[in-house]
Amino acid sequence: MKKIALMLFGIAMFGMLVVEAQVKSISGTVTSSEDGTGIPGVSIVVKGTTIGTTTNMDGEYQLSVPNDAQTLVFSFVGMKSIEAPITGTTVSVSMESDYIGVDEVIVMGYGTQGKSEITGSTVQVGGEQLENMPVATIEQALQGKVAGVSITASSGTPGSVQDIRIRGRSSITAGNEPLYVIDGVPVVNSDVSLATSGSNLSALASLNSNDIESLTVLKDASATAAYGARGANGVIVITTKSGKSGEAKINFSATYGFSNDATDGPDVLTGAQREELFYEAIYNTYGSAYDFDEAGAKDFYESYPNTFGSDYVVWNEAGRPETNWQDVITNKNAPMQEYNLSASGGIDAMSYYASFGYFDQEATVIGSDFKRLSGALNLTADIKPTLTFSTRNNASHSYQDGLLETSAYFSNPRTTKYFMPPIEQPYLEDGSINIFGTSMPNPLWIAQEDIDDSKLTRIISNNSLTWDTPVENLIFTSRVNIDYQVYNYKRYRNPVRGDGDSSFGYGWVANRNRANYVFQNSLDYSFDIDGGHNFDVKVLQEFQKNRLLFMETDGDNFSDIGLTNLNSAGNPTAANSWFTDWSIASYLGMVHYSYNGKYIADATIRQEGSSRFSDDNRWGTFWSVGGAWNIHRESFMSDIEVINNLKLRASYGVTGNANIDLNQYQELLNFDSDYAGEGASYPGNFGNPDLTWETSHTVDIGIDFGILKNRITGSVGYFRRESKDLLLDVPLSLTTGFEEQTLNIGRMENKGFEAELMIDVVRMNDFNISIGGNIGTVENKVQELAEDINGDEINITDQTQRVETGHPAYGWYMPTWAGVDPQTGDELWYVDGEGSETTSNFNDANQVWQGGSAIPTLTAGLNLHIDFKGVFLDLNGYFAGGHKVYEEWHRYTHGTDVYSVAYYQGVAALMDRWQEPGDEGTRYGKIEYTGRPWQRHSKFLYDGDYFRLKDVTLGYDLPQSVTSMINVDGLRVFVRGTNMFTWVKDEYLEYDPEVDVSGYTELTQPPIKSVIFGLNLNF
């Protein structure tokens, strides 16, 4: 920490030094014309320069200006801008409201647009909503804030990937992830981790949320048109902070807090309950054949130790000690902390933003944490009267001490809770870790010895040169962006106990370097034609190349305990490297037309070529048209004062998706095989030279409104997206030697309504209450799939899901559970779905549609803001529903057999089981001493609906009277709670309801419930 503090100090000093360089001083006060009180945050700029500042909490400002400065420009959102001449050393102004003129500027990626000029569907989240969010990955901030966007964490391990679906699933087997754009450049933000058996790591975890100015979600064809070729799944535009003109502003923030699991998960059996069920199983299975009653089961068990073992004998002799394995694996009140220091300002023709951040979060399970160091430097310099150079640089190093998770790996601590018998002990009598005495590896030992480390270093450098050409309003921009990601992974398994014990230790090291370059050239031209016709035209050319270099090596038989690098591995077992690349070339043309701000039209065309397709089918053409009518600006509306904003908008367009594996179009031999110590090859890819872009055709219509001086604002919209020529992995007959071939075939639609509403209940100078909310629906239906030569539809089916026309993609499809037979205690299933005949033979029960899929059909967000004399309260909630989730691993944890009572552990709910003829309505059938196969059916399919209070913040902005005494511009203290409350509809869904897009609960880290205390200082 000492080092970090020193660096923070260094950066602070840099900020201070910059301030020294000014001379003539002007001060004044900006007040509201309505009530005469000071307005904080008003931007003041010396006209024609970037020199400026903002007012403090009381509306006062001080500014050093060049001696020849003539005019100051005062501007503030919601107020009419004022230009005031500099006459003397005091310039004070009074500003009046401009409710009608409120036009939030929306960042669209390749440019910005006033909100009233937008013809598509976009939502921007910015400013304070992103600051001091205690999250490792920035997109978590979007949850609940944007209608129609579903976000779930793939794991609660800090830094993990968030699954984002914008308006549902647009593709069946190609990717459904949105495109990410950072500062105008498409980037790759996928999971960087290499091990499928461990924690994953999002590339976005490399970004510090405090460096982000805004996040914009582009949803429809008109909004995403600029990225048409890859915009079918929506676009998330991330804009980093820029320097603001004027005096240096320094911001320091610190947060410290604690986190725990947001939900506890299912309770498990106690040792005593487990023993009771064990004897019951012995009796039910052997009682009649070997002629003993229920009380005799214990004796029978003890007389056959060869068959049944003697675990309970040992346990009883030891005095029946109960272990709560959840307590053993939990890192209670896991600390998290974050520190950020940033400085921004302007000197002459240059503005800057510089920041440094440190983030550290321990996981809620033992042996895992995440740390990030990040720095940013954004500079804009007017190097010549007509040339502006801008560079945005972001560098970070993230370190994730991960763990084995997601699946039921015996060394996954989340497995321990549900699989480790409660009659086994974590510690020996002398207090040391019980290394060898547990049936599965002791998580205390694994957390101490084994290693799953991910390190990601990411550098993004975005550089542009803008030339204000001699032709008025014609601007040329050339941009080069480099995104370099260096990922290193180290795995080590100790030789004493666990996954490395049979090979005397195991080690694996892997490196992956990703270099992603983007080159852009663009021309912007805007011109007016008399009578209020405004045109903005943009043409752009872009080339993107991605290179990926991978290296790994592993080995076993370590020479000594405690040495974890491959240097000590006696037996190298693998060495591997590979290189792949892809590239994309595009040409884009956009026209934006506005007639007096009333009638807006957009047209966009983009041609894009992708290396994923063969020469003949490489290029795709994507386009969109959009229109908007600002009705409130019509003269006939001028009398209707109650309506401040009323806009009708509609758009239609074609966007694309090429999110498939590389080289799919080629018929390939693979060489990553070996036999008897020699290299080998095999046919790896069926190939399809006709492969080309998947397209989505989207209609979007909506109304935006603002009434009562914009105290009530909102929008209502409808969309329908039809995806065609799907990039579908069509199953092949396995006799071909291949599982599937990617074809452009099939159609699927998503449609839904979206609405947003924001109400300022109280709007006063020092007292405000606002309530807002959003809601989005999405209905998904497969319309067409591939057919084989006999005209039979080729479906994709597994044990729980199916893809078939007329149903949602991957809709739930499995046998329906019919309860327990009161006479026999057998579990029953319907042969052909509910209402049909029942059977106790699982294999006789046919799979039937269960309704719904894993994707929510309804998502909603709710927020409340209250502030009163500097004290503020923010609440934010998220609802997702209409989907179903499936409980994985029930074969073991819900097993009415040896898995729950003899080998592993069962959930406490098992106590509700059938015991004797006549027992009706039990949740579980007869417990038996046997092992049952996997039987996936509707008993373990739950309604996924849940509501979560994502965020509660209570804070206080100290008044000027206090801050001026300590010589700072502003000081805020706050306490923030995340996931403080969770409501789940289905009583049987005991795992955390935030399940990833697969729809399966996993043995992974649930999201966290945290409380943090923070401080935000401006000076």
| Cβ at position 750, least distance to other proteins in Å | 25
Residue with the two structure tokens 């693998």:
574
Residue with the two structure tokens 């239609």:
652
Select 682 or 1013, whichever has its Cβ closest to other proteins: 682
Cβ atoms 74, 114 nearer than 8 A? no
CA angle 776, 780, 785 (to 5 degrees): 160
Select 299 or 672, whichever has its Cβ closest to other proteins: 672
Select 550 or 593, whichever has its Cβ closest to other proteins: 550
Compute CA distances 108 → 114, 121, 181, 217, whole Å: 10, 11, 10, 9
Cβ atoms 336, 157 nearer than 8 A? no
Cβ atoms 450, 411 nearer than 8 A? yes
Torsion 915-916-919-924 (CA) sign: positive
Read off the tokens for 238.
């991330």
| Cβ at position 413, least distance to other proteins in Å | 17
| Cβ at position 409, least distance to other proteins in Å | 10
Cβ atoms 748, 783 nearer than 8 A? yes
Select 327 or 672, whichever has its Cβ closest to other proteins: 672
| Cβ at position 906, least distance to other proteins in Å | 14
Phi, psi of 18, deg, nearest 5: -60, -35
Select 663 or 805, whichever has its Cβ closest to other proteins: 663
Select 409 or 942, whichever has its Cβ closest to other proteins: 409
Read off the tokens for 420.
């480790």
Phi, psi of 135, deg, nearest 5: -130, 145
Cβ atoms 149, 168 nearer than 8 A? no
Cβ neighbourhood burial of 2 (10 Å; 0-12, 13-18, 19+): exposed
| Cβ at position 797, least distance to other proteins in Å | 6
Select 309 or 532, whichever has its Cβ closest to other proteins: 309
Give CA–CA dist 43/75, Å, rounded.
5
Torsion 727-731-732-737 (CA) sign: positive
Select 798 or 834, whichever has its Cβ closest to other proteins: 798
| Cβ at position 735, least distance to other proteins in Å | 5
Select 265 or 731, whichever has its Cβ closest to other proteins: 731
For residues 1000, 1002, 1006, 1007, the Cα torsion angle rounded to the nearest 10 degrees is -40
Give CA–CA dist 987/923, Å, rounded.
13
Give CA–CA dist 265/993, Å, rounded.
10
| Cβ at position 677, least distance to other proteins in Å | 6
| Cβ at position 411, least distance to other proteins in Å | 10
**Which 3 state secondary structure label does DSSP give 510?**
strand
| Cβ at position 72, least distance to other proteins in Å | 34
| Cβ at position 203, least distance to other proteins in Å | 22
Select 534 or 663, whichever has its Cβ closest to other proteins: 663
From the list 698, 702, 701, 719, the residue with the least C-alpha distance to 756 is 702
From the list 635, 764, 598, the residue with the least C-alpha distance to 97 is 764
| Cβ at position 393, least distance to other proteins in Å | 22
| Cβ at position 931, least distance to other proteins in Å | 3
Select 232 or 518, whichever has its Cβ closest to other proteins: 518
Rg (CA), the chain: 31
Read off the tokens for 844.
């006789």
Say which DSSP state 422 is in.
T
Select 94 or 541, whichever has its Cβ closest to other proteins: 541
| Cβ at position 794, least distance to other proteins in Å | 6
Select 410 or 879, whichever has its Cβ closest to other proteins: 410
3-state helix, strand, coil in the chain (%, to 5): 15, 50, 35
Select 306 or 432, whichever has its Cβ closest to other proteins: 306
Cβ atoms 77, 102 nearer than 8 A? yes
Cβ atoms 869, 960 nearer than 8 A? no
Give CA–CA dist 834/846, Å, rounded.
11
Read off the tokens for 16.
């201070």
Read off the tokens for 386.
């007509």
Select 335 or 731, whichever has its Cβ closest to other proteins: 731
- C-alpha distance across the termini of the chain, in Å: 22
Give CA–CA dist 228/478, Å, rounded.
21
Cβ atoms 725, 692 nearer than 8 A? yes
Select 81 or 577, whichever has its Cβ closest to other proteins: 577
| Cβ at position 583, least distance to other proteins in Å | 5
Which amino acid would we find at residue 162? Q
Select 459 or 585, whichever has its Cβ closest to other proteins: 585
Give CA–CA dist 845/816, Å, rounded.
8
| Cβ at position 585, least distance to other proteins in Å | 4
Cβ atoms 360, 349 nearer than 8 A? no
- Give all strands (DSSP E) within 764-870, no chain letters: 767-777, 779-784, 796-797, 801-803, 811-814, 817-820, 827-830, 838-839, 848-849, 858-868
| Cβ at position 511, least distance to other proteins in Å | 17
Select 319 or 679, whichever has its Cβ closest to other proteins: 679
| Cβ at position 539, least distance to other proteins in Å | 8
| Cβ at position 613, least distance to other proteins in Å | 9
Strand 387-401 and strand 369-384: the pairing is: antiparallel
Question: In the sheet that 52-54 helps form, which strands lie side by side, from edge to edge?
Answer: 52-54, 43-46, 71-75, 82-85
